[in-house]
Chains A and B, each alone.
Chain A
Amino acid sequence: MKIAACVKITPATDSRISILADGTGIDASGIKWIISPYDQVAIEQAVLLAEANKGTEVVIVTVGDDNAVAQLRAGALAVGGDRAVLVQDAALANSDNLGVAKALAAVLKKEAVDLAFFGKVAVDDDASQVPGMAAELLGWPQVSSASKFELAGSGFTAVRAVGGGMEQEVRGSFPVVITADRDLAVPRYAKLPQIMKAKKKKVDTLSLSDLGLSAGDVAPKVAVSSYALPPSREKVTLLGGSAQEAAAELVRRLRDEAKVL
């Protein structure tokens, strides 16, 4: 069996984001990059399956630049991925979600994987578009936001949380795209011996042409016009005095100033 985990390199969730002066993107300087946390869950699920089923290979797939290699080694190959494929092409730098989905779908097809895990959402743009697009391009079914996954016979069983505490069980066959919710698996810590082993694992870099795609295939259909930070919080006033005085003052302000009472 061959399993892919498709990942996105995103700013660490505790990064302080600032926007370029011309508003065209975020300022990448000083940002610490990580594999998006839901993608880390996807990797873990793929590795757990491989550990339980001898002869299974886990291929990590991403679209990115040279900086992605260190992330792939530390965050994916050091926690059990067998090798990685990095699609790197100038045309992809300015592409959109559909362009990225095309590149990933081409890799999944070329690798002839049985199963592709993605995180359900990347923590940078929160778009949740790429897995569904990739599945569609491949003509594969997709199970989104899986919180449980098991092999069953020649296919699989997945569980999705569907709100209100209810769960939905989905059965299907391969090939398939599964997107990982938080509960699917608990990512392990990278162990130092595994970090050393990961140095020797293969990271193949492919261009669009290696995948039979052209720059035109990934030309963006969506243009981002500008980025803006959320407005900073308005000034907070702490009401002083005793509890009674503060409560009276709060009611007065709600009535006279905010006019909500």
Chain B
Amino acid sequence: MRHKPLDFYDIDDLLTDEDRQIRDAVRAWVDGRVLPIIEDHFQAGTFPAHLVREMGEMGFFGTQLEGYGCPGLSYTAYGLICQELERGDSGIRSFASVQSSLVMYPIHRFGSPAQRERWLPGLASGALIGCFGLTEPDHGSDPGAMITRAEHRGDHYLLRGAKMWITNGSVADVAVVWAKLDGVVRGFLVERGTEGFSAPELKNKHSLRASVTSELVFDEVRVPLENILPGVEGLKGPLACLTSARYGISWGALGAAGACFDASREYSLTRHQFGRPLGSFQLVQAKLAGMLREITKGQLLSWRLGRLMDEGRARHEQVSLAKLNNVDIALDIARVSRDLHGAAGIVSDFPVMRHMANLESVITYEGTHDIHTLVLGRWITGIQAFS
């Protein structure tokens, strides 16, 4: 199925030619390479690993970075890439978000020249896969309370602890792991195959089934001294990564919402009940109009935030608002789409329940809906409600 994008407010006019060409190129790739296979992977609970190299060759990874095989595109272009990938599936977009924002970004920004040289070209081309470990089994919204520890032991750091809900964990060649060294959060590059490091995959998910989610276990892992990220100390390191990724998610959610809207519009015009198309009923029209309304507002939000990111003056609270709003409306749209499709909404002939199930993760990961709400509350009042 080809997707004619919903663009009720002519937001296309606000994009540059380059942005539009990039968006269209990603869309064509998703139409041709993701949509035909994604339902089968989702049903089987498998990640379409064969797409990784292709995504690398297409230039989808680390687009917002410059040098080391990265093209230095705008943040708006990065957002549009996320939007189109998530129009395909949140799992595919999650892969790209982790690779670009949570792995390549910290190595690029906080890594040593040798670390950049070693990892970035391979991560950009898709020859290498990365993952990001911040959340722990007992610490999600409160990462500052993490228990994973590194100790300086002569010629290496000794890493102990565990990370949880890690996208790409079991397939990653390198993990960017955040752990406390003498009480201060630091980033470490832990390589696949290092003794004591394992990454068992979580297989019982109802969501993001076409994506790998893992636990990372560090059982006395010796990490070479040169694998510490030298450029940052404290939680601001991982939080900077998350701000970049969350920005992309705000666009990605619009892709999933757009796919649900397209499917719902189509279904409402082709499905007849009581001798009339579903779309002729006022309640159905109200649902479609509600989707149109929210997607259009979300598009304006992400477009503006993209420009602020490109100008280097986006505040993380603004990113919180876009992430929480767009994922919230996308999940709502997916649920309404499922309802609008009736019984057909639960089978894989239509993408709506897959998107719905995926978005149940997206609303929780990278800062839960509630935490982002409280970030806004803190910005308004100056009082932090979650510590």
Contacts and interface: CB of A to CB of B under 8 A. Distances in A.
Contacts of B26: 192
A199 B17 CA distance: 10
Interface string A183-206: 000000111111110010000000
B60 interface: yes
Contacts of B18: 195-196, 199
A192 B2 contact: no
B4 interface: yes
A30 to B, nearest CB: 10
A14 B2 contact: yes
A193 B62 CA distance: 12
A73 B26 CA distance: 15
A74 interface: yes
Contacts of A14: 2, 4
A78 interface: yes
Per DSSP, chain B at the interface is: helix
A78 B2 CA distance: 21
Contacts, number: 47
A189 to B, nearest CB: 5
Interface in B7-46: 17-18, 20-22, 24-26, 28-29, 32-33
B71 interface: yes
Nearest to A199: B18
Given A14-B2, A73-B21, A192 B63 contact: yes
A32 B4 contact: yes
A78 B29 CA distance: 14
A70 interface: yes
A44 to B, nearest CB: 14
A189 B32 CA distance: 9
Contacts of A191: 25, 57-59
Interface residues of A, number: 15
B73 interface: yes
A192 B59 contact: yes
Contacts of B2: 14
A37 to B, nearest CB: 12
Nearest to A14: B2
A102 B281 CA distance: 54
B60 A192 contact: yes
Interface in A26-80: 32, 70, 73-74, 78
B57 A70 contact: no
Given A14-B4, A32-B4, A70-B17, A192 B24 contact: no
Nearest to A79: B25
Nearest to B3: A14
Contacts of B73: 192, 196
A192 B25 contact: yes
B21 A74 contact: yes
A192 B77 CA distance: 10
B71 A190 contact: no
Nearest to A193: B59
A74 B59 contact: no
Contacts of B63: 192
B25 A78 contact: yes
B35 to A, nearest CB: 14
Contacts of A78: 21, 25
5 contacts: A189-B32, A190-B21, A192-B63, A195-B18, A196-B18
Interface of B: 2, 4, 17-18, 20-22, 24-26, 28-29, 32-33, 57-60, 63, 71, 73, 81
